[in-house]
Structure 1
Amino acid sequence: MTRVETLSRMRHPNLVTLIGVCREAKALVFEFLSNGSLENCLQGEHQREPLSWRMRIRIAADICTGLIFLHSNKPKGIAHGDLKPDNVLLDNSFVCKLADFGISRPLDLTNTTVTPYHRTNQIKGTMGYMDPGYIASGEITAQYDVYSFGVVLMRLLTGKSPLGLPNEVEAALSNDMLQDIIDTSAGEWPTEYTEELARLALRCCRYERKERPNLANEAWGILQAMMNCPDDKCKPPTFFICPMTQEIMRDPHIAADGFTYEGEAIKDWLQRGHKCPP
């Protein structure tokens, strides 16, 4: 089965859809995504607003989901092989889709191997995102993409160049200086999230492939928990909160001081002998 046939049969919300083939130009035609690449967004090109930290976590989760789909493809899993922000495109709602499958490869399992892989003598990819194990052996596995994903996580967290970034993040984390390299244009990151994201990214970039996390069983759960965290903007307006109980009022009463209190709370206050509102 050719690569075009494989791509034409794949449909997923986090993969760019192949629309057709132009034989004359020897080109593939994919859907258009209006917000360009993640790299453009991280570089702040075209005077666009910086991506918020919440949006970056959602993008990371989208990338994770797309990779899980590729790796679990049947009958053979597929390694993207060149995951980087340039190959992550964003639609008008900033939903991200993986693109550029030019060096993606189906992964084979033989009688002598435990992990599906593809071996090549032509090393291709982008420096900074390439799995060191692949450079040394020429073997592409799903863990190749996990390494690249770790570097992308660090880019989302810091906005820095990928070259040498794992070492920089590891040193900052070890010396309790991670906040010094966080991309503040994303807003005020929760400290616990920056550390958890940094640790996940570093695990993805471990040299030994077997020590890297499973995307479906580990990475996705971590990112999903971050996306589901409460947002201060979702809290009820302060005028719904009783100044005395600090809870949402179910039976609001306006007191003589002009403030509104929970009925039972103000009643209890007065019954205790107070002559004026709190």
Structure 2
Amino acid sequence: MRHPNLVTLIGACREARVLVFEFLSNGSLEDCLQRENRREALSWRMRVRIAAGICTGLIFLHSNKPKGIAHGDLKPDNVLLDANFVCKLADFGISRPLNVTNTTITPYHRTNQLKGTMGYMDPAYIPSGELTAQYDVYSFGVVLMRLLTSKSPLGLPHVVEAALRKDKLEDIIDTSAGEWPPKYTKELAKLAMRCCRYERKERPDLGKEVWDVLEAMMNCPDDKCKPPKFLICPITQEIMKDPHIAADGYTYEGAAIKRWFKMGNKMSPVARVSFANHELIPNNALRFAIQEWKKRQQP
């Protein structure tokens, strides 16, 4: 399977017993939240865009045919970021296809060997042993809280719930992300809490509910005039209409990078390294961000 928000498997080395994946220069989302190597903090706009990318990747996995797939271990360590901070889900070691039987409605995978990461593990999974798409929704809710607060995942839903109840959400928000619009922080916190409800049937649908909220947050309504840098094609220096990810990890206007290849250029115009191949992957998450930004520029 290939998708802009899933890490690309390049191959395997049987002798070393390893899988080889594409290299993503900005490391993991956990590295960014922990500010490893004194790296610059992720802005709130970038965090919303990353959340939207994670959501898109999960929707793709859950709607896979003939069987949906549950990631099973979604956490910031398993969300990798490329040179443009486009996120890609990684580490599918405990991912499982979801089955439907004559006695069930919700696709699931049952196991008596519970695996996952504390803090992100669906509490309904522990007594039942049933891995479903809603397991990933719970984990996604905790990831949203991490993006909002950068706090430890252990007990974080209780911390966020208490802050919402006392109307003190601003006390736990990660201010290094810049000035979060209060409307967005509250909406995102409430969405995260819905994702983390104990009853799986009460959690929101990623494609119908969660995506709508994140899409609306892609750009601040008051952020007019100058577009964010990640909307600009490195070649044309114009807002992209048809963004595609090239083998160097950067996103370009589709027609522009194709012309670049047609002219015989073998080096990346940004990274100045040779392209491993000329394959292009549509960057749908960025396309939606561009469309949303353009809508907000209309009077």
Residue 109 of structure 1 aligns with an amino acid whose one-letter code is: V
Q: 1:148 aligns with which of 132, 136, 139?
A: 139
Task: Give me the TM-score of the superposition, normalised by structure 1.
Answer: 0.80
Q: 4+ residue stretches of structure 1 with deviation over 6 A?
A: none
Q: Secondary structure at the match of 1:132?
A: coil
Decide whether aligned partners of structure 1 residues 105 and 22 sit closer, same or farther in structure 2, where only a CA change above 3 A counts.
same
Q: 1:26 aligns with which of 1, 17, 22?
A: 17
Residue segments in structure 1 that go unaligned for 5+ positions in a row: 1-9, 237-278
Cα offset, 1:25, TM superposition = 1.4
Q: Does 1:42 align with 2:33?
A: yes
Deviations along 1:42-95, one digit per CA (max 9) or x if unpaired, are: 000111110000000000000000000000000000000000000000000000
CA distance in 1, matches of 2:126, 2:226: 49
Cα offset, 1:229, TM superposition = 3.5
Larger Rg: 1
Q: Which residue of 2 aligns with 1:127?
A: 118
Q: 1:52 aligns with which of 43, 55, 66?
A: 43
Residue segments in structure 2 that go unaligned for 5+ positions in a row: 228-299
Cα offset, 1:191, TM superposition = 0.2
Q: Which residue of 1 aligns with 2:188?
A: 197
Q: Which residue of 1 aligns with 2:241?
A: none
CA distance in 2, matches of 1:67, 1:229: 24
Q: Secondary structure at the match of 1:89?
A: strand
RMSD of the alignment, in Å?
Answer: 1.1
CA distance in 1, matches of 2:7, 2:115: 21
Residue 133 of structure 2 aligns with an amino acid whose one-letter code is: A
Q: Secondary structure at the match of 1:172?
A: helix
Does the 8 A contact of 2:3 with 2:57 survive in 1? Answer: yes
Q: Does 1:117 align with 2:91?
A: no
Task: Give me the TM-score of the superposition, normalised by structure 2.
Answer: 0.75
Q: Which has the higher contact order (CA 8 A, sep 6+)?
A: 2
CA distance in 1, matches of 2:115, 2:79: 18
CA distance in 2, matches of 1:229, 1:117: 38
- How many equivalent pairs are there? 227
Cα offset, 1:21, TM superposition = 1.1
Q: 1:106 aligns with which of 97, 113, 125?
A: 97
